[in-house]
Amino acid sequence: MTSSQATPVAELVDVSYGYRRSPVLTGLDLRVRPGRVYGLLGRNGAGKSTTMKLLVGLLTPSSGQVRLFGSPFARTSLARVGASIDGPALYGHLSATQNLQVHAALLGVGPDRVRDVLAAVGLADTGRRAAARFSTGMKVRLALAIALLGDPELLILDEPQNGLDPEGIRELRGLLRDLADAGRAVLVSSHVLGEVEQIADDIGVLAAGRLQYEGPLTRLAPDGDLERAYFTLTETREAVTRKAVR
């Protein structure tokens, strides 16, 4: 069985969600499989962060089902998930090592893992400097380190390239590829088409509150022109939606 045929580790099954009477997502079916990087694309406000929050239980769907590791959502499954959603949430007065030590104590992770993860994200030499004094890119790296700390089977990252310099983006690509090649499932959201094109095996395109496409990148853009395929898909759907509500 290839990774594209493997049983999903994260699923949304006919999931809808909205704020009061305003729908955000409607009838969403999404599947993230092990050994693959899934790129969730959509403009700002399309519902990418909402989708990720539904997967980790920060939001509850109005209807439909969230499934993790083949079973209906249970908070015990989150021990197998690492996530960074809505930007870094850090203890500003603590160093990078101390931030990780707080989370390591909760996860039962030892000091060797803390050192390994800091090295993997390029923060091994930050010493006692408080996280509040970090650059935006360093804070993003630290949030990634926290998400990786428990050696998760499923990694969920909300626009992780934001704030990273070109070197950091290249290192992130390599890290995510290595994780997928080791059998982990990786879900990454972005509105930067070129970046997703370089790392994703599978693509999901959110527009008008629905997943307009899900599947291999090569099927969405067989000629290699992801930008054209993306805008053709989303602009057509949004035009249909605007016409329907008039």
Model confidence at 237: pLDDT above 90: no
Taking the C-alpha atoms of residue 224 and residue 134, their distance in angstroms, rounded to an integer, is: 38
Taking the C-alpha atoms of residue 75 and residue 153, their distance in angstroms, rounded to an integer, is: 15
Say if residues 113 and 145 touch (Cβ distance below 8 Å): no
Radius of gyration of the chain (CA): 18
pTM for this prediction = 0.91
CB within 8 Å of 20: residues ≥ 6 apart: none
CATH assignment of the domain containing 199: 3.40.50.300
Taking the C-alpha atoms of residue 125 and residue 217, their distance in angstroms, rounded to an integer, is: 37
Structural domain total, the chain: 1
* Full domain range(s) for residue 64: 3-245
Give residue-wise pLDDT tens across range 93-142. Answer: 999 999 999 999 999 999 999 999 999 999 999 989 999 999 999 999 99
Give residue-wise pLDDT tens across range 54-84. Answer: 999 999 999 999 999 999 999 999 999 999 9
Give residue-wise pLDDT tens across range 151-160. Answer: 999 999 999 9
Taking the C-alpha atoms of residue 141 and residue 169, their distance in angstroms, rounded to an integer, is: 10
